[in-house]
Amino acid sequence: MADVHTKEKRSHNMSRIRGRDTRPEMMLRSALHAIGLRFRLHASDLPGRPDIILPKHRLAVFVHGCFWHRHADCKYCTTPAANAEFWREKFSRNVERDLENSNKLVAAGWRVYVAWECEIKRSPPAVAEAIRQLD
């Protein structure tokens, strides 16, 4: 199946996808703050640059988009029909990198929590509470 956009338009659209300060991330940060948890953002000194870290609790939180990080059995986890082989390789590498980063963090004494986009959209306070329970 051919893409409905030109190569230039698709490139422009993809370049507009943000890697930080996304809507799900902002929703989770707000919910964490509301229950009294304080955190740091995008720790560049840690593997995978976690979206949120709670240094006091040595907890790294990744906010994963269901599409990009392949949330199993999620309605947002779709694969584009156009250029399917590219997308399979892209998604495979994303999942592999996520696992590598999590393993490195655990080896360094951190706990890792993955907050999925669909869960955050459904109930940011519930995800924040799950994170608080890890303290």
Where residue 62 sits, what CATH number does that domain have?
3.40.960.10
Is residue 6 a part of any domain in this protein? Answer: no
pLDDT in tens, 62-120: 999 999 899 999 998 888 888 889 999 999 999 999 999 999 999 999 999 999 999 99
Is residue 93 a part of any domain in this protein? Answer: yes
Is residue 2 a part of any domain in this protein? Answer: no
Is residue 4 a part of any domain in this protein? Answer: no
| Structural domain of 37 | 20-133
Q: State how many domains the chain has.
A: 1
Is residue 58 a part of any domain in this protein? Answer: yes
Helix axis angle for 124-133 and 23-34, nearest 10°, is: 60
Is residue 3 a part of any domain in this protein? Answer: no
Is residue 64 a part of any domain in this protein? Answer: yes
Give the pTM: 0.86
